[in-house]
Structure 1
Amino acid sequence: MTAQAGEFIAATPSEAIPAMAHAVARQGIIDCVGVLIAGAQEPGPGIVARLVQDHSGPDAAPLIPSGRRVSALDAALVNGTAAHVLDYDDVGLNAHPSTVLVPALLAQGWSLGSTGRELLDAYVIGYEVWAWLSALEPGALHDRGFHPTAVTGTLAAAAACARLKRLAPREATMALAISTSLASGTVANFGSMTKSFHAGRAAQNGVLSARLAAEGFTATIDALEHRSGWLNAHSPTGRAVLKQDEPELGRIWRLPQTGLHLKRYPVCYGTHRAIDGALDLVARHAIRPEEVASVHVHTGEMQMLMLRNMRPQTGLEAKFSMPFAMAAALIVRRVGLDELKDVFVTRVDVQDLMTKVRCSTTPLRDPTWDVDYAPFDQVTITLNSGQVLEGAKVTRPRGSWQQPMNRDELRTKFMDCAQRQLSEAQASRLFDQLWGLESLGCTRELALLT
C-alpha cells in the first residue's frame, strides 16, 4: 500500500486531477494564506521564529509576511505555526488540511520556483493521500489522544512535497515511509502554543521527508501496512485496513466530494454549530446578556474532548471553550479575532456568563460528515423571566462545504486577516493573484511580503 501511494503521488497526470479538486484547493490556499498573515504577529510563531537562523542560499524561503529569509524547512515550520495559531484555518477530514499543506508547499515551491498549477496539483495529491489514510481507519485519532493535523498531516505534507519535487515513484514511496516516523502530536496540548506548533512541525517534516528521499535516504517500503507500521500504531480501533487489492488513490477523488469547511469564527470547529445557533437566538429574540439565567448546549462527546477549558483565562484557552463561545455570542453578538484577546476573555461580564453555561453530550456521531461530531448541536437559553428559548438543531455550520462561502465572503475574510499586516492594496493584489493561481508563473511572484 505504501508503494501504491508512491505511484499515485509521482505518476498521476495533472490532467487527471478533477477541476473541482483544483477549485477547492484554491479556496484552501487563499483562506490559509490570509489566516497565516494574521497569525504571524502572535507570540507563539514569534518565539519559533526567534529560534531559527537566517539563510541566504538558493534553498532560502521567506517567513510570511516579514520576508526574512530562512531555510525552506524553517519557513515551513514558522509559517505553519502561524497558520494554525489563531485556529481560524479550514477544517476537513477531522483535521486542518491547509494549515499543513500550504506552508509546506509555499516554502518548497518558493525554493523550487514552482508554478501555481504545480502548487494546486501538489495540494490535491497531498489531500487525497490524507483522505485515503483517514478512510483506512474506522475510528477517530482524537479518541486515542492523537491530533490528526499533526499525525496524518505529516504524511500528507510529505506526499505533497514529493509531488512538487517531481520525485519518481520509488522516491515518493520513500518520502511517505520516512514521514511515518516523524508524525506526532497530542490532543492534550490543545489550548496552548504547542497545538499550532503541531501544524508547523508537520509542514516542516513533510518538506524534510521529500528532501531526504530525493537524496537517496531510505525507509521500509511497507511502513504504512506492516503489522507494526503507521496504520496499526495509530489505530484507535485496531481495525485499520492493511491491504487493498484495488488501489483507491486516483480512482476515487475525495476532495471534490468532501471539500473544505472554512471557518467563520477563530475558535475550535467544535463550537461553530453552537455559535450559529446562539447568534440566531440572539438575533431572533433580541436577547440582552443581563436577561440570561442559563445556557444549555447539547453537543457531542468528541467535541467536548477537545473543548477542555470551562473557565479560560487567555485567548488561547478560550479557543477551546464552549462557555466562552456562548458568552461572546451573547455579550457582543460575534466571535472574532478581537474577542480572542486576553483582555476580553478576562472581562467580568464574560467570566460571569461562562458560569451560566452547561453542556450535555451524546456519543453519537454523524456518519455522513467527514468531521466526527454529533449529528447536531442545539442551544437552549433560559431567561430570568423563566422563558425558555429553544434553538434549531444545527447540523452544518455556516462556511462548511454544505453551506460554503462565496467568493465575496472569502475575500472579506481574507482582507480582514491580511490587512492586519499588509496594506489594503497589497492584500487585494495578493487575493487576486491567489484566485488566479492556476496561471501564476512562479511562486516567488506572489505579493506575500510586507
Structure 2
Amino acid sequence: MSGAPTAGERIAEHVVSVDPADTTAETVHAVARAFLDTFAVAVAATGDPVDVALTGYVAGSTGPASVWAGTGSLPPEHAALVNGAVGHVLDYDDVTSPLRGHPSIALLPALVAAAEAGGADGRRLSAAYAVGFEVICKLSKACALDHYARGWHSTSTIGLLGATAAVAHLTGLGRDAVRDALGLAVAQAAGTRQNFGTMAKSFQAGSCGAAALRSVALAGAGMTASAEALDGGTGGFLRLYSTPEAAAALDAELATLGQGPGELVTSGIDVKKYPLCYATHRTIDLLLDLRAEHGLTLADVDRVEMRANRGGLAPLLHDRPTTGLEAKFSMQFAVAAALLDGEVKLRSFDDEQVRRPEIQGFLPRVTPTEDDGPPFPRFAEVTLHLADGRTVGRRTHALRGSADTPLSDDELLEKVADCLGRGGLGERVKPFADAVFGWADRPVRSVLARRLS
C-alpha cells in the first residue's frame, strides 16, 4: 500500500502506541465498575436457557478462562462466547450512546478471558478496555446511526471491531498484525436486530468476543487481511454496512484518536437501572415518578400516549409480548409493568409475569410514537389519560444511571448485590467488589477467584 494510511492502519497505530503505564486511576476505577456490573448481570442469568444451551455446547472443553455464571473454566474463545451471551440475555448490561448498544459485553468477556490466559493485571486490562472503547465510539460516531437503522446489531458488529482492538492491545500484537486482525474481524462482523427478543440476540453478543479472540490469534499466527477492510470502496465495512459518506466521517473521527481525555470520559458508560431495552428507560423513569406523585394504579389509567425522538423506538419490536425475552423489547410492556407494579425488576420478565391478564389487557392501550424531528437530543414524553377524565404528563431528556447522571458506587453495588443474590453469590458481594476495585496491580485471574472464596 502507498499513500495515506487506511482506517485500519490508523487504528492499529493507536492500539500499539498506548502505554498501559499511563492508565489513570480514574480509568481503572471506571473499568472496575463496568466489570462488576457486567459480571453481576451474567451471574443473575445463571440457569437461563441460553446458559444451559451454551454450557452444554462447550461441555468437555477446559482452559484457563473462568465461567462467570458457574464454577468451571474454558478455553478463552469458549469462555468469551458463554460469558458474553449469558451476560447479555437479561439485557441489563451497560450501554453507551454513540454505539446504540452495549460496550462492556462486547469488550469484557474477551478481555477477561485473554487476561486470565496471559496473566495480565487489572491495569493492563483497563488500558485495553479504554483502547477498545475509543475505537467503538469513533466508529460509532461515523456510522452507527445509519448502520443501526439498516437493521444491524451494532453491539456485535462495531463492538467486535472494538473488542479486537482491545484484545490486540492487551496481548501486545504488532502494528501490521493489528491491522490484519481488524480485517479478520470485519470478515466475521454480523448480527441483526431482527433477532431482538430471542436467544439469538445474546448469542450475537457472545460471538462478538469469541470472534475478537479468534481474529487476534489468527493475525498473530500470520493470517492477513485487506488493509482497506474498514474503509475500502469495494465492500469495505463502512460502505457495505452504512453509507458512502461514513468513510469521510470516520476520517474526521480518527483525527482525534488518542487526543483529549478520551471517549471513556467524553461519551462515558450508562449503567442500566432496569433489565430491559434502554429505549424504554426514560419512559419508565417518568411513569414511576408520576405514579408516586399522583398515587396512581393501573386501574386509574385509561390509556397512555408515549412519544420519543426519531429512531428512539427502533429496537422495540414487540407490541404484544408473551415471553420475557419479547417483553424486554416492548414499550407497551414497560408502561404496563411500571404502572401495575410500581417497579421493573428482574422478576418482571418471568414468562408468567408477562402473561398476567392485567398486563396483556393493557398492552393495546399504550400508543408509542416517534417525533419527526432530529434524532438528537433523545427524549421521552408520556401523557396519561386517566379514568376520571384528567390527563397528567411529563417530558424528559435525563436518564438515571447515564454518564451524565451516573449511579454512585453504592447504588451500583445495590444492583450488583441483587444480581449476585439471584445467582446464588449474594454473600460474596463485598469481598469480590473490594478485590475488583483493588485489581490495578493484581492478576485478573486471582481477582476472579475471589468470587468463590
| Deviation, structure 1 residue 19 | 4.7
Distance 1:201 1:248, change over 3 A: same
Distance in 2 between the 1:288 and 1:61 partners? 48
Task: Indicate if the aligned counterparts of 1:309 and 1:321 stay in contact, CA closer than 8 A.
Answer: yes
Name the amino acid aligned to 1:417: C
Name the amino acid aligned to 1:230: F
Q: What SS is found at the alignment partner of 1:140?
A: helix
In structure 2, the partner of 1:161 is 167
- Please give the per-residue CA displacement for 1:244-269, whole angstroms capped at 9, x wherever unaligned: 59742212411111111100000100
Name the amino acid aligned to 1:362: D
Moved more, 169-178 or 146-155: 169-178
Distance in 2 between the 1:108 and 1:245 partners? 28
| Deviation, structure 1 residue 234 | 1.0
Distance in 2 between the 1:424 and 1:167 partners? 38
In structure 1, the partner of 2:241 is 234
**Which residue, 3, 9, 16 being the options, matches 1:3?**
9
In structure 1, the partner of 2:4 is none
Distance in 2 between the 1:209 and 1:281 partners? 49
**Which residue, 383, 388, 393 being the options, matches 2:386?**
383
Distance in 2 between the 1:260 and 1:95 partners? 11
1:285 aligns with 2:287: no
Equivalenced residue count is: 441
1:300 aligns with 2:309: yes
**Which residue, 257, 260, 267 being the options, matches 1:258?**
267
In structure 1, the partner of 2:3 is none
| Deviation, structure 1 residue 144 | 0.7
Distance in 2 between the 1:444 and 1:236 partners? 45
Task: Indicate if the aligned counterparts of 1:65 and 1:449 stay in contact, CA closer than 8 A.
Answer: no
Name the amino acid aligned to 1:315: G
Distance in 2 between the 1:395 and 1:423 partners? 36
In structure 1, the partner of 2:399 is 397
Residue identity over aligned pairs, in percent, reads: 33
Task: Indicate if the aligned counterparts of 1:302 and 1:363 stay in contact, CA closer than 8 A.
Answer: no
| Deviation, structure 1 residue 177 | 1.6
Name the amino acid aligned to 1:234: Y
- Please give the per-residue CA displacement for 1:265-288, whole angstroms capped at 9, x wherever unaligned: 001000000000111100000002
- Please give the per-residue CA displacement for 1:112-153, whole angstroms capped at 9, x wherever unaligned: 121111111111111011111112237432111101101101
In structure 2, the partner of 1:83 is 87
Task: Indicate if the aligned counterparts of 2:77 and 2:210 stay in contact, CA closer than 8 A.
Answer: yes
In structure 2, the partner of 1:371 is none
Distance 1:333 1:201, change over 3 A: same
Moved more, 440-449 or 322-331: 440-449
Task: Indicate if the aligned counterparts of 2:35 and 2:104 stay in contact, CA closer than 8 A.
Answer: yes
Task: Indicate if the aligned counterparts of 2:41 and 2:416 stay in contact, CA closer than 8 A.
Answer: yes
Task: Indicate if the aligned counterparts of 1:288 and 1:331 stay in contact, CA closer than 8 A.
Answer: yes
| Deviation, structure 1 residue 49 | 1.8
**Which residue, 336, 347, 357 being the options, matches 2:356?**
347
Task: Indicate if the aligned counterparts of 2:195 and 2:201 stay in contact, CA closer than 8 A.
Answer: yes
Name the amino acid aligned to 1:377: A
Task: Indicate if the aligned counterparts of 1:64 and 1:449 stay in contact, CA closer than 8 A.
Answer: no
| Deviation, structure 1 residue 359 | 1.4
Q: What SS is found at the alignment partner of 2:182?
A: helix
Task: Indicate if the aligned counterparts of 1:138 and 1:239 stay in contact, CA closer than 8 A.
Answer: no
Runs of 5+ unmatched residues, structure 1:
369-374
Distance in 1 between the 2:162 and 2:451 partners? 24
- Please give the per-residue CA displacement for 1:187-223, whole angstroms capped at 9, x wherever unaligned: 1111111111111000110111111111111112221
Name the amino acid aligned to 2:423: Q
Distance in 2 between the 1:286 and 1:334 partners? 14
Q: What SS is found at the alignment partner of 1:323?
A: helix
Q: What is the TM-score normalised by the length of structure 1? A: 0.93
Distance in 1 between the 2:444 and 2:200 partners? 33
Distance in 1 between the 2:144 and 2:150 partners? 13
Instruction: Map 1:169-208 to 2 at 5 A.
Output: 169-208=175-214
Distance in 2 between the 1:17 and 1:331 partners? 46
Moved more, 326-335 or 302-311: 302-311
Distance in 2 between the 1:256 and 1:387 partners? 44
In structure 2, the partner of 1:118 is 124
Distance in 1 between the 2:404 and 2:130 partners? 20
Distance 1:109 1:196, change over 3 A: same
Task: Indicate if the aligned counterparts of 1:7 and 1:169 stay in contact, CA closer than 8 A.
Answer: yes
Task: Indicate if the aligned counterparts of 1:36 and 1:79 stay in contact, CA closer than 8 A.
Answer: yes
Runs of 5+ unmatched residues, structure 2:
1-6
Q: What SS is found at the alignment partner of 2:383?
A: strand
RMSD: 1.9
Name the amino acid aligned to 1:276: D
Distance in 1 between the 2:367 and 2:126 partners? 43
Task: Indicate if the aligned counterparts of 1:28 and 1:98 stay in contact, CA closer than 8 A.
Answer: yes
